[in-house]
């Protein structure tokens, strides 16, 4: 018999079990989560040095806590020696050193604080409450270790700078703050449960992590019905994990799942959580309603026994509370089951024009299903093909294409939208730039209507509808460019002229006329305008610099006191007021950055901000954003008249 | 990952302190979302065996009382090491005896 002991892996396990409690206790002491985590990490390093020699202590959690607290005391003594008498401080620390049950709740509320962007909240929560390493979090969210490290560091910095309070909020505010925690936990769960991209349909580690956090929260905030609702929802959804995929990893739809593979233990836990939520009373919130729907499904012993009328009613209530397009879509599915496919299809019709669902593969997927049940296989196939083109998940794409192929559709003769656009782009004698531009327009058309749509069935109305959804809000020039592409294609393919429905929009006459006085102030006063845009526009206006020169600026080029930057750019008070806010803590790298970090496959080699991992804002993107905001002006027009 | 931990009885009667400590441990495991189910098992057991197609049901006495499984816990953890660590803590509370950890396949 060989004793199983690998010190490093044991320490890792102990850390994951204990770190949240240690960090939470320290955070109360030092009032800074970043510092608390550092001190806890110091203790971990000490363990890594000692335990392999001395063995894991009897109570490893207490050991780590003691070391970390000693470091914390040293730290506080160093920083506060001047301010307070030592004895007084020692007394205070003694008094504060017992763990408090609320420590973990405080830590959760801070990790999910509304001042942080959602993805940072999720990363910080997994880090501080799950004890996950940056690499583990990166793997979960298909990101890179350094990017996650930066995201977490930025989040901690924001919390420190904004001096986020460590006190527990009062009864009234608690509900609002908890909803942010619930949102993060459910986001983590969903990222694991329905992996939005990649080759796997599920990342079970994330689901488990979210469940753990939810169960913990239910103990910490037992009087909140929505917390129990979320736990119930996750337990019941997780109970279906094993049944959700077939032998080759393809998704199996809920009503086709082998219910024998549902995990009865988790279902029962879900029911118990649901009962707790109901006992607390009050009008049901969104998580309780979603849990009730999940419970309804779990209660049916066979798919046929599903109480669709009840589920449709619950979705009706949910849609009143949370009228998002996705909820409306789910409601359409339920109604389609309760009252027949036509009723469901009717509910999806208004959704097809919703820009929020433009690229959401489940909409055509649901419509495909309803159309197939209505005995309209040709339309159903098109919808499945569209759904397949939109999903980023490989397993799901294969599944959707199989569903499309399984439909008995009489062979279509003649060209399809896809084949015709390809032929048009190849044969019409267009130059490369035009092919690229037209390709973009027609590609969107194909995505929206289905590449497999027989060309003969394409109607002007359909084209007009796609236009309204895709480019309805675009600037005149963009609209006209797409319009030109479609018209040219229609002429080539001898289609009914859609132009009657697609009027040419008037473009601003001269694109180099400088802005009218006061126009920039009006643009900058728009609610919700990003600081980056505001700063860039002011800078261009006040400095008269070229757009490319401004975008090429680096943080280290700036002299804020002097209001100058090295390539000879100077500005005035408007820009000077904004710049410090744009910089917050950055000391080098590109001045104007993109909103998001580049995806792992698209990481550019140069011009990344060393502190945030974001790339330099491109000319095209900057121009697009200004055009959007100003209804068609160009950045060059910001340059003042000589 | 799910693990089933089974524990043998060691014959000695548990005292008040042990119950209190066990209660705390179970509470903590439940709160942290690790413990899915737990329970104690009666000392009597019945053996159902099949040999050459013949099913025999007998009162299944164990050769020694301490071989009998006295309780089980089903836990959900991130690694085998975590399961071992939990078992270690459990054993420290209950004293002499044996626990066995086996992974439960869920898919």
Per residue of chain B (107 residues), what is the pLDDT tens digit? 899 999 987 766 778 888 888 889 999 899 888 999 999 888 788 889 899 989 988 887 666 666 788 889 999 999 999 999 999 999 988 888 889 999 998 76
Percentages of chain A per state (helix, strand, coil), in multiples of 5: 65, 5, 30
Residues of chain B whose beta carbon is less than 8 angstroms from a beta carbon of chain A are 30-34, 36-37, 74, 76-82, 84-86, 92, 106-107
> What integer is the mean pLDDT of A573-583?
87
Asked, colleague to colleague, whether A4-99 and A326-406 share their fold, the answer is no
Chain position carrying tokens 């850390």 = A15
Please tell me which residue of chain B has the smallest CA distance to A104.
Answer: B32
List Cα–Cα distances, A297 to A243, A244, A302, in angstroms: 14, 14, 9
Alpha carbons within 13 A on the beta-carbon side of A36: 28
> Angle at CA A499, nearest 5°, toward A495 and A505?
155
- Give which of A5, A136, A215, A221 to mutate to test B binding, by max B Cβ within 10 Å: A215
User: A3 vs chain B: nearest CA distance in angstroms?
Assistant: 11
Top residue of A10, A13, A60, A132 to mutate, by most chain B CBs within 10 Å, is A13
Which one, of A187, A178, A190, lies nearest residue A114 by Cα? A178
Q: Residue B15: how many CB atoms within 10 A of its CB?
A: 8
Rounded to the nearest angstrom, the minimum Cα separation between A204 and chain B is 9
Spatial separation of the C-alpha atoms in residues A335 and A343, rounded to whole Å: 6
Beta-carbon separation of A241 and B36 below 8 A: no
Q: Which residue has the tokens 């299809």?
A: A345
For residues A572 and A564, give the distance between their C-alpha atoms in angstroms, rounded to a whole number: 9
Query: How far is B23 from chain A, CA to nearest CA, in Å?
Result: 16
Of the partner residues A17, A216, A263, the one whose CB lies closest to the CB of residue B31? A216
CB contact under 8 A, B33 and A13: no
What are the angstrom distances between the C-alpha of A294 and each of A62, A227, A319? 40, 15, 16
Q: What are the E-state strand segments in B1-107?
A: 2-8, 35-40, 46-51, 54-59, 69-76, 99-104
| pLDDT tens profile A424-441 | 888 877 888 888 888 888
C-alpha count within 13 angstroms, C-beta hemisphere, residue A407: 25
Write out the H or E segment, with its range, that includes residue A564: strand A564-565
B76–chain A nearest CA distance, Å = 8
pLDDT digits (tens, 9 = 90+) for A72-90: 888 877 776 555 555 665 6
Write b or e for each residue in A219-252: b if 16 or more Cβ atoms lie within 10 A of its Cβ, otherwise e: bbbeebbbbbbbbbbbbbbbbbbbbbbeeeeebb
pLDDT at residue A355, rounded to an integer: 80
In this predicted structure, the answer to whether residue A262 has a pLDDT above a threshold of 90 is: yes
- pLDDT tens figures, A305-356: 999 999 999 999 999 998 888 899 999 999 999 999 999 999 999 898 888 8
Confidence of residue A1 (pLDDT cuts 50, 70, 90): very low
What's residue A601's pLDDT?
58
Distance CA A583, CA B16 (A): 62
Q: Taking CB atoms and an 8 Å limit, are B32 and A17 in contact across chains?
A: yes
Q: Closest CB to B82: pick one of A17, A213, A263.
A: A17
Averaged pLDDT, A266-271: 96
Query: What is the pLDDT at residue B84?
Result: 94
* pLDDT higher than 90, residue A237: yes
Going by C-alpha positions, the residue among B15, B68, B20 that lies closest to residue B40 is: B68
Residue A196 has pLDDT above 70, yes or no: no
Contacts of A4 in chain B (CB under 8 A): 80, 84
Geometric angle at alpha carbon A514, from A555 and A550, rounded to 5°: 15
Is A12 close to B92, i.e. CB distance below 8 A? no
pLDDT digits (tens, 9 = 90+) for A433-492: 888 888 888 888 888 888 888 888 888 778 887 887 788 778 888 888 888 888 888 888
Strands B35-40 and B46-51: unpaired
Choose the weakest-confidence range: A123-137, A192-206, A316-330, A465-479: A192-206
Q: Which residue of B has its CA nearest to A17?
A: B82
In this prediction, what percent of chain A has a pLDDT beyond 70?
A: 91
CB contact under 8 A, A216 and B34: no
Q: Between the CA atoms of A43, A133, A152 and A113, what dihedral angle is there, to the nearest 10 degrees?
A: -90
- CATH architecture entry for A4-99: Orthogonal Bundle (1.10)
What distance in Å separates residue A70's CA from the closest CA in chain B?
Answer: 25
Cβ neighbours of B107 in A, within 8 Å: 241-242
Whether ipTM tops 0.85, in short, is yes
Q: Give B81 to chain A, closest Cα distance, Å.
A: 6
- CA–CA min distance A159, chain B (Å): 26
Taking 70 as the threshold, does the pLDDT of residue A118 lie above it? yes
Average pLDDT over residues A521-533: 83
Distances in Å between the Cα of A183 and the Cα atoms of A9, A109, A226, A246, A314 are 32, 12, 11, 30, 20
Interface probe with B: pick from A3, A17, A104, A201, most Cβ of B within 10 Å = A17
Residue A502 has pLDDT above 90, yes or no: no
Cβ neighbors of A552 (< 8 A, separation 6 or more) are A567, A616
Predicted local confidence at residue A120, as pLDDT: 92
The values of phi and psi at residue A100, to 5°, are: -110, 140
Q: How far apart are CA B102 and CA B84, in angstroms?
A: 10
pLDDT at B85: 93
Are A215 and B33 inside 8 Å of each other by CB? yes
Q: Taking CB atoms and an 8 Å limit, are B32 and A212 in contact across chains? A: yes
- A26 to chain B, closest Cα gap in Å: 19
Q: Measure in Å the smallest separation between the Cα of B44 and chain A Cα atoms.
A: 26
Contact at CB, A216 and B33, closer than 8 angstroms: yes
Give B31's contacts in chain A (Cβ within 8 Å): 215-216, 219
For B80, which residue in chain A has the nearest alpha carbon?
A13
Residues of B in contact with A232 (CB under 8 A): none
Record: contact A16-B32, CB cut-off 8 A? no
Total count of residues recorded for chain B: 107
Residue among A536, A538, A541 at smallest CA distance from A552: A536
Q: Nearest C-alpha of chain A: how many angstroms from B64?
A: 22
* CATH number of the domain located at residue range(s) A326-406 in this protein: 1.25.40.10
Residues of chain A in Cβ contact (below 8 Å) with chain B? 4, 6, 9-10, 12-14, 16-17, 58, 60, 205, 208, 211-216, 219, 241-242, 263, 265-266, 269
Contact A219 B31 (CB under 8 A): yes
How close, in Å, is residue A216 to chain B by CA atoms? Answer: 5
**Cβ <8 Å between A219 and B76:** no
Smallest Cβ distance to B33: which of A6, A13, A212? A212
Q: Measured in whole angstroms, how far is the alpha carbon of residue B53 from the centre of its chain?
A: 31
Among candidates B71, B78, B73, B66, which has minimal Cα distance to A210?
B78
Considering only CB atoms, B33 lies closest to which of A13, A58, A211, namely A211
Q: Sketch the domain layout of chain A as residue ranges.
A: 4-99, 326-406, 417-493, 519-637
Q: Which structural domains are found in chain B, ordered by start?
A: 2-104 (3.30.70.1060)
> Which of B31, B33, B98, B101 is most worth mutating to test chain A (most A CB atoms within 10 A of its CB)?
B33
Q: Could you tell me if A187 and B4 are in contact, meaning their C-beta atoms sit under 8 angstroms apart? A: no
Q: Quick check: helix, strand or coil at residue A285?
A: coil
Chain B residue closest in CA terms to A9: B81
DSSP string, A68-99: HHHHHHHHHHHHHTTTS-HHHHHHHHHHH-S-
Token pair belonging to A550: 């401004």
**Chain A interface disruption, residue of B1, B75, B78, B106, most A CBs within 10 A:** B78
Chain A positions touching B37 (Cβ under 8 A) are: 265
Q: Which of chain A's residues have a Cβ under 8 Å away from the Cβ of B30?
A: 215, 219
Partners of B85 on chain A (C-beta within 8 Å) are 10, 13-14, 17, 60
Question: Could you tell me if A341 and A328 are in contact, meaning their C-beta atoms sit under 8 angstroms apart?
Answer: no
**Cα separation of A450 and A446, whole Å?**
5
């Amino acid at each position: 018999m060989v004793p199983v002991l690998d010190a490093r892996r044991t320490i890792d396990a102990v850390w994951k079990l204990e770190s949240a409690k240690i960090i939470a206790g320290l955070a109360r002491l030092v009032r800074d989560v970043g510092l608390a985590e550092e001190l806890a990490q110091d203790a971990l390093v000490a363990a890594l040095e000692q335990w392999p020699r001395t063995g894991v202590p009897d109570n490893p959690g207490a050991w780590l806590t003691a070391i970390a607290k000693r470091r914390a005391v040293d730290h506080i003594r160093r920083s506060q020696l001047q301010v307070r008498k030592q004895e007084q401080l020692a007394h205070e620390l003694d008094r504060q050193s017992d763990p408090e049950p609320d420590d973990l709740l405080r830590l959760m509320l801070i990790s999910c604080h509304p001042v942080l962007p959602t993805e940072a909240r999720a990363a910080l929560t997994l880090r501080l409450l799950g004890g996950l390493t940056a690499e583990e979090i990166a793997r979960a969210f298909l990101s890179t270790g350094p990017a996650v490290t930066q995201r977490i560091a930025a989040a901690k910095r924001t919390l420190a700078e904004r001096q986020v309070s460590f006190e527990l909020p009062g009864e009234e505010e608690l509900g609002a703050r908890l909803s942010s925690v619930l949102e993060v936990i459910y986001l983590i769960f969903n990222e694991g449960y329905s992996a939005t991209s990649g080759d796997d349909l599920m990342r079970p580690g994330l689901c488990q992590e979210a469940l753990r956090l939810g169960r913990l929260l239910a103990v910490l905030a037992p009087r909140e019905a929505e917390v129990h609702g979320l736990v119930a929802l996750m337990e019941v959804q997780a109970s279906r994990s094993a049944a959700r995929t077939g032998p080759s990893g393809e998704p199996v739809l809920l009503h086709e799942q082998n219910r024998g593979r549902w995990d009865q233990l988790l279902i029962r836990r879900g029911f118990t959580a649901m009962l707790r939520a109901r006992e607390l009373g009050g009008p049901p919130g969104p998580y309780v309603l979603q849990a009730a729907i999940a419970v309804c499904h779990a209660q049916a012993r066979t798919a046929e026994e599903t109480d669709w009328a009840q589920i449709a009613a619950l979705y009706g209530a949910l849609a009143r509370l949370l009228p998002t397009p996705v909820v409306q879509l789910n409601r359409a599915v339920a109604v389609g089951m309760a009252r027949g496919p036509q009723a469901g299809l009717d509910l999806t019709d208004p959704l097809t024009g919703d820009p929020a669902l433009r690229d959401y593969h489940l909409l055509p997927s649901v419509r495909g299903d309803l159309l197939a049940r209505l005995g309209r296989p040709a339309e159903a196939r098109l919808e499945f093909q569209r759904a397949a083109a939109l999903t980023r998940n490989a397993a799901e794409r294969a599944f959707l294409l199989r569903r499309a192929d399984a439909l008995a559709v009489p062979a279509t003769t003649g060209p399809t939208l896809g084949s015709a656009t390809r032929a048009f782009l190849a044969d019409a004698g267009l130059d490369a730039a035009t092919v690229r531009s037209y390709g973009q327009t027609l590609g969107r058309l194909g995505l929206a209507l289905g590449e497999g749509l027989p060309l003969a069935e394409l109607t002007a109305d359909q084209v007009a509808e796609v236009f309204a959804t895709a480019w309805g809000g675009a600037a005149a020039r963009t609209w006209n460019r797409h319009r030109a592409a479609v018209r040219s294609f229609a002429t080539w393919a001898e289609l009914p002229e859609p132009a009657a429905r697609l009027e040419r929009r008037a473009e601003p006459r001269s694109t180099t006329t400088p802005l009218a006085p006061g126009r920039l102030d009006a643009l900058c006063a728009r609610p919700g305008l990003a600081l980056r845009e505001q700063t860039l526009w002011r800078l261009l206006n006040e400095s008269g610099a070229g757009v490319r020169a401004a975008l090429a600026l680096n943080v280290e080029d700036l002299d804020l006191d002097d209001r100058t930057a090295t390539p000879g750019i100077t500005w005035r008070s408007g820009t000077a007021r904004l710049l410090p806010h744009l910089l917050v803590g950055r000391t080098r790298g590109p001045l104007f950055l993109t909103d998001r970090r580049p995806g792992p496959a698209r990481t550019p080699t140069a011009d990344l901000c060393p502190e945030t991992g974001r790339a330099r804002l491109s000319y095209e993107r900057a121009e697009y954003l200004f055009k959007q905001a100003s209804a068609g002006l160009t950045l060059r027009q910001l340059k003042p008249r000589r | 990952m799910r693990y089933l931990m089974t524990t043998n009885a060691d014959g000695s009667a548990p005292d008040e302190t042990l119950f209190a400590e066990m209660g705390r441990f179970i509470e903590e495991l439940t709160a942290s979302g690790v413990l899915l189910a737990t329970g104690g098992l009666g000392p009597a057991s019945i053996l159902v065996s099949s040999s050459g197609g013949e099913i025999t049901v007998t009162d299944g006495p164990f050769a020694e009382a301490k071989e009998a499984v006295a309780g089980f816990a089903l836990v959900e953890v991130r690694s085998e090491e975590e399961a071992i660590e939990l078992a270690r803590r459990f054993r420290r509370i209950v004293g002499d005896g044996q626990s066995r950890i086996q992974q439960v396949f869920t898919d």
